[in-house]
Amino acid sequence: MPYVFRGKVPGDTFLVGELAYTVQRVLCRPMPEEPAPVETLLLAQCLEGGHAGALCLVRCLEGPPDAPLRQRAWDGASLAVRMRHPHVGGVWLVHSDEDVLLVVSEYVPGFDLQSVLSFAAIVRQPPSPAFACFVGAAVADALDYIHHLQNEKGQWLGIVHRGVHPENIRLGLGGEVKLTGFDVTFSRVVGRRLTTTNLVRGELAYAAPEYVRDCQLDFRSDFFSLGMVLLELLTGRYPFDVPAAVMRARGDLRAERSSWLPLEELVGHLKGFGPEAVGRAARGVSDTLVAILGRALQLDPGGRYQRGAWMRDDLRDWLHGQPVHYGPEEAVAEMRALRDRSQHYAPLVSTVEPGALPGAEEAS
């Protein structure tokens, strides 16, 4: 089949439903031999409707409508389009026909959290505790919102994000913090396609132990993932970067996507990841923040935070108790400083400014 969006170039105009858009940049283009569905990512300008004049991201998946990747993208976007929260990346429009699925979402120039961690690794200095708490509180607030989201009939949707990790946390140059990445989201919506019981989705390195061990999860699994992100932010190190004895996962479990940390090795690390291990990993972090980490990273979900709002409030209380105010402007200044210092050590590190997309390269 001809892949129309694969060939788009800046200046081309196209329709999503009844609304017209103009391509500004091609951010990602599929490889020539890539199997269907092929994915193209465009930075575009909306020409009509309520977002006329605004820049947006348009994800184009061309291929069979029954392809698993396309089905998951539809499911995730259909959930995300319901969401209206300052810390959730906005999905404006989802359109599907026989040939293509189009997802239009807001564009926030800035960095993803993985970029910030990369900058910090280059200069060998983690972001400040205030930065970690600022970002963590915003993500916890977003999780509290999506965990309690209802449909138009007031029915609870039972959403678990299932993909809380640095690449899915976006940091805008205006100080925005956005949780994105809803393709792997779990929901109890009737009629939604369910994951097979032995398939582990998402980035395994940040997943909760009950998920990587038995493929079981609920909303509290997201708090463990956020705890892992916070631990890495506060220390500048992913806690499982050292060899460990491997404990086998359930024999039939398999990971949907490859990860730099194999499933069996991750399960082995998590087996001994109790309070003492968290304390060792967080050496040098304040006792108050270690206590927050310890609660988020409980191996037993019953011992974790039971609401995102509780975790958000604990992080904000710590932040507000500091002698110097820390807010969006300070977070942006710190991100820029880390980026600038990292370029001094590694001039080829890619930067992200207005007009560019974090974590994506422009296709040639």
Mean pLDDT of all residues in the chain? 85
Q: Which pairs count as long-range contacts for 283-287, CB under 8 Å and 24+ apart, including other chains?
A: 283/235, 284/235, 285/129, 285/234, 285/235, 286/129, 286/318
Confidence at residue 68, expressed as pLDDT on a 0 to 100 scale: 87
Residues 88 and 194 in one domain: no
- CB crowding 281-310: b at 16 or more within 10 Å, else e: bbeebeeebbbbbbbbbbbebeebbebbbe
| Tens digits of residue pLDDT in 6-31 | 999 999 999 999 999 999 999 999 98
What is the bridge-based pairing of β-strands 13-16 and 169-172? unpaired
Residues 68 and 152 in one domain: no
Residues 121 and 100 in one domain: no
What's the structural domain count of the chain? Answer: 2
- Does any domain span residue 362? no
Domain that holds residue 124: 110-328
Backbone angles phi, psi at 316, to 5 degrees: -70, -35
> Rounded distance, CA 256 to CA 51, Å?
36
Residues 172 and 64 in one domain: no
Q: Which of 106, 122, 153 is the last residue of a domain?
A: 106
- CATH code of residue 19: 3.30.200.20
Confidence at residue 203, expressed as pLDDT on a 0 to 100 scale: 65
| Tens digits of residue pLDDT in 72-127 | 899 999 999 999 999 999 999 999 998 999 999 999 999 999 999 999 999 999 99
- Does any domain span residue 305? yes
| In the predicted structure, residue 361 carries a pLDDT above the cut 50 | no
